Structure formats: C-alpha cells, structure tokens
Amino acid sequence: MSEADPFEDGENDITPFPDRSSEDQKEQDIISDDTPSSPRRKATVIERLAEDIDIVEVSQIVVCEPQEKKDSKTGLIKWTEYKIITEKSDGSQSEVFRRYNHFLWLRKLIWQEYRGIIVPPLPEKKNFGRFDASFVERRRRRLEQFLNRLATHPYLKDSNTFHVFLNIQESETFAQAIQGDQKTVGEKYESLYNSYRKTKQKLLKNPAGESEDDQECTKIKAYGKKLETVARDMESQFLTLDNDCRSVGLVWESTATCLGAIADFEKEEGNERAAFCLSALQETCGKVGALNKDPESLSTFTTIKLRDLFDDFSKYGKSVKECVDGRDDLWYRHQAEISTLESRKKTLHGLETGSYVYNKDSRVAATKSQITESETKVAELSEELNSVTDRLQTEVRAFQKVKPSRIEDKLLAFADFQIEHMEAMVKYWKDLKEKLTE
C-alpha cells in the first residue's frame, strides 16, 4: 500500500512533511477541468482578510502538538488545541493554532461557497472521552487528512476561507473571520423571505415533473445515504474486532501473571522442571498478550486503520448527501424565481388588459422592470444550477472511480498485517517448543 493514499491517516511519518499524496494527484486527474459554479456568497470580512495574505500554493500541512486548554476565567470550559504547520511551494511556512470548532466553521463556509463539490468530511464530534490520548491522536490524524485534501483539491484549495484559516494567527483578527459579516435589517428580511419562498416550492414540488438531472441527483443522494449506512456498519464491526483483539491480549497477560504464581509455587516445592516449563509458557503468554494488546509494536498498519477507511467512506456518503442538498437548495431558489416571474407576468397582463387601472402607465413600467429583473435572475440561476449539477455528477463519478483502489490498498496492507501478526505468533510458540525440547 502506498503511504501517500489520501485516505491514509498520516501516522508514523518519518519526516514532518511527507510527499504529496499520489492518490490525491490521481483524484485530481480524474476530476473534470470544467470550472465549477462561482461561490454562492463570500463574506466581506473573509475577502478583506484574504487581501492581506500572500497566498502561495500549499505543499503540505501537518497538524501536531495537541494541547488541552481551558477557559482562563472559570476553568470549566476545556478544549484541545492543535498546532497547524503549513509548508508552501516557495519554501515558506506558517503556523497557527486551531481547535475543532474552527475546523467545523471552515468546512461549513466552504460547503456554502462551493455548491456541487463534495467537501471532504471531518472526524466526528464527541462529548465524552474527547480528551483521551487515543481519541486525540486519531482526531489529529483525521484533521490533518482533511486539510491536505482541501489543499490538493483543484478548486477548494483556492478558497479565501481556507487561506484565512491557515494564515491568520492573531486571535482577535481570526475571531472577526469566525463572526463574519453582520446582516442589516433589510438583509435579514430578505433572507427570511427567500427561505419562505424556498419552503413553499418544497411543498409544491411534483416528482412527476422532475428532469433527468433531477432524477439523477435523487439517485446520487440515495447512493450517499446507502454508503453512509453500510460503511458505518462496517466501521462498527471493525471497532468491535479491534476492541476484542485487545481484550484477548489482556486475557493472555492475565494468564501469564497466573502462570508466574504457579511456577513460583512449583519451584518452592522443588519441582524445577515443572517450574521451568511453566515459566517458559508464562514468557510466551506475555509476548502473545503484548502483541494482541499493542499490534502497533509489530506493524504500522492495524485494525483501527481499516476501521478508519470505512468510517471515512461513511462520512463521504454523508458529504455526498450534503452536496445534493446544496444543489437542491439552488433548485428551489430557481423554482421560486420562476414562480415570481410568472406572477409578475400575470400582474402585467392584468394591468394592460384592465378597463380602468389607477396610475396605469407607471405601474406597467414598474412591473416590466420587475419582469426584466426576474428574467435575469432566472437565467443566472439556471446557468448556475446547470453548472452545479454537472459538477456534482462529475465529483461523484470521480469519487466512485478512485474508491476501489483505496479499498484494495488498505486490504492489501491489512492482509500483510495479519500475516505478520500470525507469523509472530507461530514464532513465539515454536520458540517455546524448542526451549522445552532442548
């Protein structure tokens, strides 16, 4: 298995900046070169901060040195903070410190900005046990994986939000980015009104009137939902397997302890040969127990990494659904604008054909102006919807195309791990047999 797999966790890297993923490059080659739809909305604060950043292509990102932090005032609120080192193509580096909520903010804004693109998933939230060393390390690997996927994506790597996240260290300045732009009363009203219009279109939606693209996107969403479910079940099974294997290791170690006691007893009784045999078995049980409890001692690949593969697929399934939801949101906006256009045309017809209309000329002129505005919006939304739909379908095809090789690479590594594990076990028992037959 190539260590450069984009689904790899980045654990046990020899250098702080390993080579860029060959699989990530493979995925870029598969994704179409068509330009995606323009970001739906960019926060002015983000744009302003990005202007002050010397944006250079990112070579590699390392997430390291997780530290537990707490609120200085009360000491009751705690979180884990990660150091993020970004190496750039010009040889320069930047360092910032981020917490998990900052990653959530980053992904949410990128999802809002880039419709039709599958935004890489983040590791899950956890309320209990989130400060356990094993969980923090697993999350660190996955956060690093997330950032490097953004850095190697043909379009997401250019996001202003992404570069603000990687480069703005001053806490107060970054807090402004997190807060975003304050909406005016008019903007809030418009947002509520548009939400009402989209909700109305959802209620009026007729599946029989869906286009082929609409039907295809419905299938893609069902695919994402199915992938999320079946991969989550597999992740759960491998978690059980991993825990059971480690539990077996504890049982072997407990057995070794008991063997030590009975070996000492036999030695006290003068049964030297029995004590020798039991001591040899104790040593073997200890080795077997240590290998099961800590498989990392033998191989860099463990059961938990195969579990992470399916967990990642499950989260990608959810990301696919989110991607379709973003396209659906745009579709409802398009339908709402079409409805508004039709309503304005009816209003114009009524004004022009009415026998008596107060202030007719000015109202007809105003309505025609509104119709022109609606026609422009419908055309713009139609173009954006087509672009987002094409991008969505291309992204899903690209993901499906590289998925088999990712599974194959992981399974080959897992098979090697199992072989190494079993060969070590056989050696332990052969050594015991040889010791007893000398």
The residue ranges of every structural domain in the chain are 1-182, 193-438
- Dump pLDDT digits (tens) for 48-59: 888 888 888 888
The answer to whether the beta carbons of residues 214 and 331 sit under 8 Å apart is: yes
**Strand, coil or helix: what is 271?**
coil
Interval 134-157 mean pLDDT: 90
The residues pairing with 95 across neighbouring beta strands, listed in sequence order, are: 85
Report the DSSP pairing between strands 93-99 and 78-88.
antiparallel
What's the confidence (pLDDT) of residue 20? 39
Q: Is the pLDDT of residue 244 over 50?
A: yes
What's the confidence (pLDDT) of residue 205? 75
As to burial, measured by CB atoms within 10 angstroms (0-12 exposed, 13-18 middle, 19+ buried), residue 242 is middle
> Distance between CA 208 and CA 191 in Å, rounded?
29
Q: Quick check: pTM over 0.75?
A: yes
Interval 258-281 mean pLDDT: 94
Q: Taking Cα atoms as reference points, which of 14, 17, 300 lies closest to residue 144?
A: 17
Within a 13 Å sphere around the CA of 391, how many CA atoms are in the beta-carbon half? 26
> Distance between CA 85 and CA 60 in Å, rounded?
8
The residues pairing with 94 across neighbouring beta strands, listed in sequence order, are: 86
Domain 193-438 in CATH 3.40.640.10: no
The fold of the 1-182 domain, in CATH, is PX Domain (3.30.1520)
Q: In what order do the strands lie in the sheet with 58-70?
A: 58-70, 78-88, 93-99
Query: Taking the C-alpha atoms of 188, 190, 193 and 199 in order, what is their torsion angle to the nearest 10 degrees?
Result: -90
> Distance between CA 9 and CA 22 in Å, rounded?
14
Residues in the chain: 438
Q: Is the pLDDT of residue 33 over 70?
A: no
> Tokens for 365?
């002129």
What's the confidence (pLDDT) of residue 89? 87
The percent of residues in the chain predicted with pLDDT above 70, rounded, is 87
> Distance between CA 322 and CA 219 in Å, rounded?
14
CB atoms within 10 A of CB 356: 5
Q: Is the pLDDT of residue 175 over 90?
A: no
Burial 297-326 (b: 16+ CB within 10 A, else e): eebebbbbbbbbbbbbbbbbbbbbbbbbeb
Q: How far is CA 252 from the centre of its chain?
A: 37
Query: Taking the C-alpha atoms of 432, 434, 437 and 438 in order, what is their torsion angle to the nearest 10 degrees?
Result: -120
Contacts of 8 (CB under 8 A, 6+ apart): 21, 145
Q: Taking Cα atoms as reference points, which of 151, 156, 140, 152 lies closest to residue 10?
A: 140
As to burial, measured by CB atoms within 10 angstroms (0-12 exposed, 13-18 middle, 19+ buried), residue 134 is exposed
Please identify which residue in the block is written with the tokens 């060393």. 133
- Dump pLDDT digits (tens) for 193-206: 777 777 777 777 77
Are 1-182 and 193-438 equal in CATH topology?
no
CB atoms within 10 A of CB 45: 17
> Tokens for 416?
């090697």
What's the confidence (pLDDT) of residue 171? 78
What's the confidence (pLDDT) of residue 310? 93
Angle between helices 133-152 and 303-353 (to 10 degrees): 50
